[in-house]
Amino acid sequence: MASIPLLTITIFLPLLGVLAIMGNRGNGGLAFASNARWVALWTSLVTLGLALTLWGNFNPETSDFQFQDKLQWMPVLNVSYHVGLDGISLPFVLLSALLIPICILASWTAIQTRVAEFMVTFLVLETLLIGLFSSLDFILFYLFFEGVLIPMFLIIGIWGGPNRIYAAFKFFLYTFLGSVFMLLAILYVYFEVGGSSIPLALTTFFDPQVQTWLWLAFFASFAVKIPMFPFHTWLPDAHVEAPTAGSVILAGILLKMGGYGLIRFSIPMFPEASAYFTPMIFMLSIIAIIYTSLVALVQVDMKKLIAYSSIAHMGFVTLGIFTIDAQGMQGAVTQMVSHGLISSALFLCVGVVYDRIHSRQISDYGGLVHRMPRYAVFFMLFILASLGLPGTSGFVGEFLVLIGTYQVSTWAAALATISMVFGAAYGLWLYRRVVFGIMVHPKLLSIPDLNWREKIVFTPLLAGILILGIYPMPLLNLMGASLSHIIDQYNIAMDPEAEGIIDKKKSLEIALYMPRFSSFGGPAHRGSPSVTYKNMLVDLAAPVPTRILEIRSVNE
């Protein structure tokens, strides 16, 4: 496998589909549109196949980055094209690869204008998302992270609902504002580390005082993306106005970018700051869970209701991440994956009836079970999964998070548990109002049930939700080693008994410290330190006191 750059191929394969669609500039007629759909579908399916191959060849025993590809990109800046996967990023790559074909299938008939452009934006989005989760270079990461904004802006703005322009601008500017702070922090890290390599940065020690600022800068970006409580206002607008597929991507993957960033960067790079800010995160998460659940209860728009429920579910994710405990973090990642499946499915459910009736108001529906029994079954299973019924993936994620939280803070766990009741309330009430009851609206009398395409769309999501709910071990094993590596690193950084290790780390750093800022007139510093400690291996198998910290310095 080493000879084939499998990950790189997976990342850039969708762009081939883009070229195929763009190259096929037909007369713009129906055949052309259908052609674009099929090309996009097949490209994304092949990408999914490649992503599954990655999974098949992935070794979950180690926390190292696998399938690494590294190429010189901008030697002047010491920035390279460097990608690789570990147990944390692989689930998200799989999720992205799964959801894109589903989105394309779901928009098969719903999108009738500018079909080729729509498919192109989704394929570009797929490249950006897979690239984002697998990049091991900060500049590359930022490129993908921000690049996502362009297709998303266009998706909301071109194919969105009546208030789409406001939503698109709000989405773009809000997330852009958050991200620029991260860019500054990335540049600071770049100067500290002497390059933009993420693996190198993950093993670099940052001064606790600086950590606070860097943590906040990264947090500004991730909190908007997740979105956490006071930064969530863009989400309902964007979700409501986006086309169904756009909502699916937003809820399914874009929200996970923030959670992924917190696990990947904030905790390993800034452990002291993470510990310092944990109470704040807990408070914001609890507020998010309770407040947005209550807000969801009073919504009259189905999409808005699901959007608010997303914020509540992501509250569990942040809660779980900052327990910095094996169960809590596993729960957080599981919750993200599960939410990616469940909320996507729920948005698709709304999309199914929206395509038929062209209304998202709950009051326009009722009694759908009489005309759409199969739809009612799917919808029910998804709603139950959303409120965390045992046997579905929603339960696994929330349960693990609550176990982790309980060990850290009983109060937080208690409050979060209570709020699950609200979750059941808005979910079941929504279901009752839409599916049960009497059919009062004459329009609904002739509504057709799910067709073959919609069933195909729902089946993999349902299968994923149930498999993860009944036997989550494949996913938990996948991320186990990587998460425990992060937790161990955190504990080493925070443990007063391990202080000596940190001091050693620090003194070594001072010894190897290269002038980071070039001075005027002096020899120009090219950003690449000639000396660097390349590997810091933590022996994970050994019990804590005997853990050996090896620091090797390598002359480049």
Q: Where along the sequence are the contacts to other proteins (CB under 8 A)?
A: 73-77, 139, 142-143, 146-147, 149-150, 153-154, 157-158, 164-165, 168-169, 172-173, 176-177, 180-181, 183-184, 187-188, 190-191, 517-521, 524-525
CA atoms within 13 A on the CB side of 73: 17
At closest approach, how far in Å is the CB of 115 from other proteins?
13
Positive or negative torsion for Cα 431, 437, 438, 441: negative
Cβ atoms of 461 and 469 closer than 8 Å = no
Structure tokens belonging to residue 542: 């050994």
Find the shortest distance in angstroms from Cβ 555 to other proteins: 24
Q: How far is the CB of 15 from other proteins (least distance, A)?
A: 11
Q: How far is the CB of 284 from other proteins (least distance, A)?
A: 23
Residues 413, 407: Cα–Cα separation, whole Å = 9
Tokens 């070229």 label which residue? Answer: 19
Judged by beta carbon, residue 157 or residue 331, the one nearer other proteins is: 157
Question: Would you say 165 or 544 has its CB closer to other proteins?
Answer: 165
Could you tell me the smallest distance in angstroms from the CB atom of residue 174 to other proteins? 9
Q: Which is nearer to other proteins, 76 or 511 (CB)?
A: 76
The residue among 127 and 285 lying less far from other proteins, judged by its C-beta, is 127
- The DSSP secondary-structure symbol of 207 reads -
Of the candidates 476, 328, 317, 322, the residue with the CA atom closest to the CA atom of residue 404: 328
Shortest reach from residue 161's CB to other proteins, in Å:
12
Residue found by looking up tokens 């698109």 in the block: 168
Shorter beta-carbon distance to other proteins: residue 22 or 421: 22
Q: Measured from the CB of residue 178, what is the shortest distance to other proteins in angstroms?
A: 9
Q: How far is the CB of 516 from other proteins (least distance, A)?
A: 8
User: 509-540 as b/e, with b when 16 or more CB fall inside 10 Å?
Assistant: eeeeeeeeeeeeeeeeeebebeebbeebebee
CB of 245 to other proteins, least distance (A): 18
Closest by alpha carbon to 339, among 237, 450, 258? 258
Crossing angle (nearest 10°) for helices 115-134 and 89-106: 170
Closer to other proteins at the Cβ: 41 or 158? 158
ω into 227 cis (within 30 of 0): yes
Nearer of residues 269 and 403 to other proteins, judged by Cβ: 269
Q: What is the C-alpha separation between 182 and 269, in angstroms, rounded?
A: 14
SS3 472: coil
Minimal distance, residue 136 CB to other proteins, in Å? 17
Burial category of 158 from C-beta neighbours within 10 Å (exposed 0-12, middle 13-18, buried 19 and up):
middle
Output 74 or 421, the one with its CB closest to other proteins: 74
Nearest to 431 by CA among 516, 362, 340, 528: 362
Q: Which class for 323: exposed (0-12), middle (13-18), buried (19 or more C-beta within 10 A)?
A: buried
CA 334, CA 58: separation in Å to the nearest integer?
18
In angstroms, give the least distance from the CB of 510 to other proteins.
20
Using the minimum distance from each CB to other proteins, give the nearer residue, 58 or 188. 188
Q: What is the DSSP string of 31-89?
A: HHHHHHHHHHHHHHHHHHHHHHHHHHT--TT--S-EEEEEEEEEGGGTEEEEEEE-TTH
Residue whose CB is less far from other proteins, 77 or 377: 77
Distance CA 393, CA 253 (A): 16
**Residue with Cβ nearer other proteins (146 or 325):** 146
Beta bridge partners of 536: 551
Nearer of residues 188 and 399 to other proteins, judged by Cβ: 188
CB of 477 to other proteins, least distance (A): 35
